[in-house]
Amino acid sequence: MELSKLIDATETRQFKVVFPNTLNAHNTLFGGTAMQWMDEVAYITATRFTRMKMVTISTNKMRFQHAIKSGTIAEIVGRVSKVGKLKIDIDVSIYVEEMFSQERFKAVNAVFTFAAIDENHKPKRINLSNKLK
């Protein structure tokens, strides 16, 4: 499979309804909750792409562009953006949809970096040779 097709095939999407129990004092989604959702999608994306044990090693360029309010639908999308010998970057965005209209916008974006690890939790080389033929 070509690299671009593997990236397309492993793009990950999750949907969440933003309920009141996830809101802060300003009635918007807690930033930490958004980050948790994004890290989970990034982890799934990295694992599906490599089929290896992966761990988050950093989060970069976290950008909160719009508040996420109660009663909306959040779509969290993860996509591989860079692959190295030991690390992989996953670009993750949260898109927000109004429940009862067609309005949709990007609310949050970040890059999550993962490393492959072995059974002793030591860094391991990312091997895609059996996937890219």
* pLDDT tens digits, one per residue of 17-35: 999 999 999 999 999 999 9
Average pLDDT in the 79-93 region? 97
Q: Is the pLDDT of residue 91 over 90?
A: yes
Residue 131 lies inside a defined structural domain of this protein? no
- State residue 127's pLDDT score: 86
Q: Is the pLDDT of residue 38 over 70?
A: yes
Average pLDDT in the 80-109 region? 96
- Domain span at residue 33 reads 3-116
Residue 68 lies inside a defined structural domain of this protein? yes
Residue 46 lies inside a defined structural domain of this protein? yes
How many domains does the chain fold into?
Answer: 1
Q: Is the pLDDT of residue 131 over 80?
A: no
Write the CATH number for 62: 3.10.129.10
Residue 83 lies inside a defined structural domain of this protein? yes
Q: Is the pLDDT of residue 133 over 80?
A: no
Residue 94 lies inside a defined structural domain of this protein? yes
Residues ≥6 apart with Cβ < 8 Å to 67: 26, 28, 29, 107
Sheet of 87-98: strand order equals 12-17, 72-83, 87-98, 104-116, 54-64
Report the alpha-carbon distance of residue 105 to residue 72 in Å, rounded.
Answer: 11
Residue 123 lies inside a defined structural domain of this protein? no
- b/e burial code for range 45-65 (CB count within 10 A of at least 16 → b): bbbbbbebebeeeeeeeeebe
What six digits make up the tokens of 118?
């072995």
- State residue 117's pLDDT score: 96
If pLDDT is split at 50, 70 and 90, which confidence band does 130 have?
Answer: confident
Residue 32 lies inside a defined structural domain of this protein? yes
Residue 125 lies inside a defined structural domain of this protein? no
Average pLDDT in the 102-116 region? 97
* pLDDT tens digits, one per residue of 57-82: 999 989 999 999 999 999 999 999 99
